[in-house]
Structure 1
Amino acid sequence: MSEQHAALISRFYEAFNRLDAEAMAACYSDNVVFSDPVFGELRGRDASDMWRMLTSRAKNFSLRYDTVRADERTGGAHWVATYLFSQTGRTVINDIQARFVFRDGKICEHHDHFDLWRWSRQALGAKGTLLGWTPLVQNAIRAQAQKGLKAFQAGR
């Protein structure tokens, strides 16, 4: 196991737990590629701005992470974020598996995997339970996330 890369993953999640987006962004390379089921693929500053937006809006937030593993090129971790989804006021417990790729002591790829339908059931309530599995609702969730990120970036 690469201790340096495992420490980088831990530093990223410890910063997230403190809602310190600047420290999170410092773990990323300038041209990082991030992906998850809500935001899709984000590159470079867009990925860091997503964390800036999420940490600035976080309510009733807590995070725990475990199963950090890393070698010279890749790594991973399991993490769970609990927070209040601002659009509905509902509590979400998001259980996520993360994969990382490292280059030059930084994270150059970060891919989060979670069940979007499970997320939508918690975040959206009945609508998410009944329709959260459909491409129509999942695409609407993605469009809203992108719209929110663009509005955040425009206001900076």
Structure 2
Amino acid sequence: MDADSKRALILRYLDAYNRFDVEAMMATVHDDVVFQNITAGEVTAQADGAASLRQMAEQAKTIFAARRQTLLAFSETSKEAAIQVAFEGVLACDLPNGMKAGQELRLEGRSEFTFEDGRLIRIVDIS
């Protein structure tokens, strides 16, 4: 895939994520996708395969009343791409870590993507 195709696929994924559109999000990923969320150097969530990622995405719809990832920067190599993102979200429910419904989250992070067969096969969100 060329850089423009990689960027377009990532933007489709982000757009679907921002709209809570699980079907459109899943259309961008490979059946064997691996997703990881890493916070402070620790894996806090992982999905192995499209079914696992779909379940995680459906669950996330109940956690956030609103959310948005905004692309800040894009870079790519022959098989991978990375983006810097700003994340904003509003919690829809209280969380076990003490955060409360209605609380706003704002952070910046990095997402790394690997591609196979024109889809995302590896997604790592790092904050």
TM-score by length of 2: 0.78
Partner of 1:69: 75
Q: Sequence identity, in percent?
A: 21
Deviation, 1:56, is 4.6
Partner of 1:101: 114
Deviation, 1:71, is 3.7
Alignment of 1:28 with 2:33, yes or no, is no
Partner of 2:47: 42
Partner of 2:126: 113
Structure 1 ranges of 4+ moved more than 2 A: 37-41, 55-58, 60-63, 68-72
Aligned mates of 2:107, 2:54 — CA distance in 1: 20
Change (3 A) 1:57 1:40: closer
Change (3 A) 1:100 1:62: closer
Structural mapping, 1:137-156, within 5 Å: none
Number of positions where the alignment pairs a residue of Structure 1 with one of Structure 2: 114
Deviation, 1:91, is 1.3
Which consecutive residues of structure 1, in runs of 5 or more, have no partner in the other structure? Answer: 115-156
Deviation, 1:107, is 0.4
Q: What is the CA RMSD across the aligned residues, in angstroms? A: 1.8
Change (3 A) 1:77 1:103: same
Which consecutive residues of structure 2, in runs of 5 or more, have no partner in the other structure? Answer: 95-99
AA aligned opposite 2:47:
L
Larger Rg: 1
Partner of 2:90: 84
Deviation, 1:34, is 0.5
Contact 1:19 1:56 in 2 (8 A): no
Aligned mates of 1:62, 1:4 — CA distance in 2: 22
Alignment of 1:6 with 2:11, yes or no, is no
Higher relative contact order (CA 8 A, sep 6+): 2
Deviation, 1:6, is 1.2
Contact 1:72 1:102 in 2 (8 A): no
Change (3 A) 1:32 1:83: same
| Greater fraction of residues in strand | 2
Aligned mates of 2:125, 2:56 — CA distance in 1: 13
Contact 1:80 1:95 in 2 (8 A): yes
